[in-house]
Amino acid sequence: MSKPVSKTAVGAFVLCALALFVLSVLWLGGSRLFSNDMEYVLYFDGSVSGLSTGAPVVFRGVPMGSVTRINLVANARDSNVTIPVYIRIDERSFVLAKNAGAPADGFHEEIIRRMVQRGMRARLQLQSLITGQYRIELDFYPGSPANFRSSTPEMEIPTIPSPMDTLQSTIQRLPLEQMTASLDTILQNLARALDQNRLERGLTAFADTFEELRDLLRKSPMRAHAEQILQSMDTASGAMERELPATLLSFRQAMENMAVAAQQLRAATASAQGVLGRDSPAMADLRRMLKEGSDAARALRALAEMLERNPEALLKGRQGRH
């Protein structure tokens, strides 16, 4: 005959089981069940290789959460495949300012929404070169487009390509085949030139020519002759600078005297016209002499003005004339 089960023992067993269940829930992450952590979804165009569940989510190096799951979603209508990455942002990563007051309901969601409006984007960032593991980096990228793909954009953070994706896309756009063909042609031409000793002969000829030119300049009397010419020109230039002002002054005084003489000659011509007659040959010769004298005076005046503006014209000649 079996012994009856004690009700006290059964009750104690049930209470112990409930206590162990509650403790296990709290220990295995029950705190998340009662927390207000925010979950967001990210859509990456490229590969997410190296990103795993539990990977950290950081904002400018500050930990904010972690990756909770990575799914593969296939669309039966267009056979398109997307990879949504779900992250959880810990609300404790936000610390309110001292003068901000008590936070209202939905405060943390509003902060994330405003940060997205200001240009906050998510991208993959290499976490370790040794392990090849990636993490999610959040930062502001003003001007980057915000492409939302989920039905609840308020719970989505737009993404941008990672530096590795950008580099890979740039390499794919390069005309690698054309560049390889051009490089191959250059190497073939270079090898042909080296095989035929053209480069060596050219360098040897250049070195010989340079040595001959240096010996010619060192031994040739042209160098001494050129130095004498430069010294003579320097002496002439110094003398011209010293004597030219006085010469120009005397030249201008002579021009003024010539102008006075021309006026007196015009007066004498007018008087002679009454004596000789307007159409007499002597009067015609006199007028021609007067005109030639006036032309010569104007030419000399122009020469004097030009020398005053540019005294070096005596050595270099007038600019623009060859």
Rounded Cα–Cα distance for residues 259 and 297 (Å): 7
- Reported as a single tens digit per residue, the pLDDT across 18-41 is 777 777 666 655 445 555 678 999
Rounded Cα–Cα distance for residues 237 and 214 (Å): 31
Q: Contact 307/248 with Cβ under 8 angstroms?
A: yes
Q: Tokens at residue 140, please?
A: 């502001």
**pLDDT confidence tier of residue 321, bands split at 50, 70 and 90:** very low
**pLDDT confidence tier of residue 69, bands split at 50, 70 and 90:** very high
Rounded Cα–Cα distance for residues 142 and 96 (Å): 24
Q: How far is CA 83 from CA 40, 126, 173, 259, in A?
A: 14, 19, 25, 102
State the chain's mean pLDDT as an integer: 74
- Reported as a single tens digit per residue, the pLDDT across 210-264 is 777 777 666 656 566 666 666 766 666 665 566 566 666 666 666 666 666 666 6
Q: Contact 58/71 with Cβ under 8 angstroms?
A: no
Stretch 159-180: mean pLDDT? 80
Residue ranges covered by each domain of the chain: 39-95+103-169, 175-242, 250-271+281-311
Which of 68-82, 127-141, 162-176 has the least mean pLDDT? Answer: 162-176
In 3D, which of 134, 168, 143 has the Cα closest to residue 42?
134
In 3D, which of 298, 293, 268, 296 has the Cα closest to residue 282?
268
Q: Is the pLDDT of residue 287 over 90?
A: no
Rounded Cα–Cα distance for residues 110 and 108 (Å): 5
Q: Is the pLDDT of residue 73 over 70?
A: yes
Q: Is the pLDDT of residue 105 over 80?
A: no
Which of 117-121, 132-136, 250-254 has the least mean pLDDT? Answer: 250-254
